Amino acid sequence: MFTFEELFLQQLINGLILGSFYALVALGYSMVYGIIKLLNFAHGDIYMTGAFACLVAYGFFSGFMPGWPGLIASVITAMAFSGALGFLAQRFAYRPLLGAPRLSLLITAIGVSLVVYNSVMAVTNSQPMFFTSWFDNTAGIRFGNITIRYIQIILLAVSITLMLVLTLFIGRTMTGKAMRAIAQDKDACRLMGINVNMVIGVTFIVGSALAAIAGGMACVYYGSIAFDMGYRIGIKAFTAAVIGGIGSIPGAMLGGLLLGLLEAFGTQFLGNSGSAWKDVFAFGALILILIFRPNGLLGKTVVERM
């Protein structure tokens, strides 16, 4: 019989792990929207391709780099592949339409999503793929009747580290400052000599690389991936970005973690039928937050100049 403290600790860890996946993908949504006001609905499929790229790369590297070195090399390969895919989508699908109405960009993003989704579905023949790890996925630290697995601790530490690094990158580097400046006024940035197209391309690369890391983490944590996994997490990550305040980097982190915790504790509270209600918790929270905080928890009211 689990005590209340044990159940609370278990669901806290589960919620933070799930929320870290949402947060890493939501960061890509917020970064792109903050700069070019595009809801990049292809971003969930970038996450999915990152997971497949990580799995395929691990099959290659594990032959001569077993263990953690092979896994790290696989994640780096997935980051490069997804970053290139995100950049190509920006360069050939989005950049020509930056001066077009936002609806045109939105429809194009949906088209890019369908192209990536159906391409992976055709290549994999709609079959899931499985990741076989060399480490004991059940080993961990015991607290009473529950076990906090080492893989959970590692993934949570990686997620927190990535969020801190991204925060420093946006706040301290010249490229990060250029991103924030472009979000305010692209025309003024061009007059100041900033290569706007290059910075936008870097934004897509960074966001796609973070999604690839989340995909690799999901591959290791869940042990299986499928071509439709991007749609599910894409919707949830977009919800997390809106909850935190679309366009806000800290908001995307906060929204992802809150959404993961809400789903974890909500399903525990409702018992055996809780998993069927987790989407109700997620989108119910979205509706309530948008009613009382239309700009999200950390979003700011933006006045558009005429």
pLDDT value at 152 more than 70? yes
170 falls in which pLDDT band (50, 70, 90)? very high
- Of 31-45, 157-171, 253-267, 280-294, the range with the lowest mean pLDDT is 280-294
Helices 68-89 & 196-222 angle (0-180, nearest 10)? 140
Beta strands in the chain (DSSP E): 129-130, 140-143, 146-149, 224-225
Beta strands in 50-190 (DSSP E): 129-130, 140-143, 146-149
Report percent pLDDT > 70 for the chain. Answer: 96
Q: Which residues contact 253 (CB under 8 A, 6 or more apart)?
A: 23, 26, 27, 163, 244
| Residue 46 is assigned to a structural domain of this protein | yes
pLDDT at 274: 60
- Of 29-43, 138-152, 164-178, 242-256, the range with the lowest mean pLDDT is 138-152
| Residue 87 is assigned to a structural domain of this protein | yes
Q: Which residues contact 249 (CB under 8 A, 6 or more apart)?
A: 27, 30, 31, 34, 166, 167, 170
| Residue 50 is assigned to a structural domain of this protein | yes
Q: CATH code at 127?
A: 1.10.3470
| Residue 299 is assigned to a structural domain of this protein | no
Give me the mean pLDDT over the 154-175 stretch: 92
Phi, psi dihedral angles at 158 (to 5 degrees) = -65, -45
| Residue 64 is assigned to a structural domain of this protein | yes
pLDDT at 296: 87
pTM of the model: 0.91
Tens-place pLDDT, residues 47-90: 999 999 999 999 999 888 888 899 999 999 999 999 999 999 99
Q: List the domain range (segments joined by +) for residue 287.
A: 4-292
| Residue 275 is assigned to a structural domain of this protein | yes
| Residue 306 is assigned to a structural domain of this protein | no
Cβ-in-10-Å burial (0-12, 13-18, 19+) of 198 comes to exposed
| Residue 48 is assigned to a structural domain of this protein | yes
pLDDT at 67: 82
Tens-place pLDDT, residues 97-137: 988 888 899 999 999 999 999 999 999 999 999 988 777 77
Report percent pLDDT > 90 for the chain. Answer: 55
Cβ-in-10-Å burial (0-12, 13-18, 19+) of 146 comes to middle
Residue 285 amino acid letter? A
When divided into structural domains, the chain yields a total of 1
pLDDT at 306: 46
Q: How far apart are CA 262 and CA 18, in angstroms?
A: 10
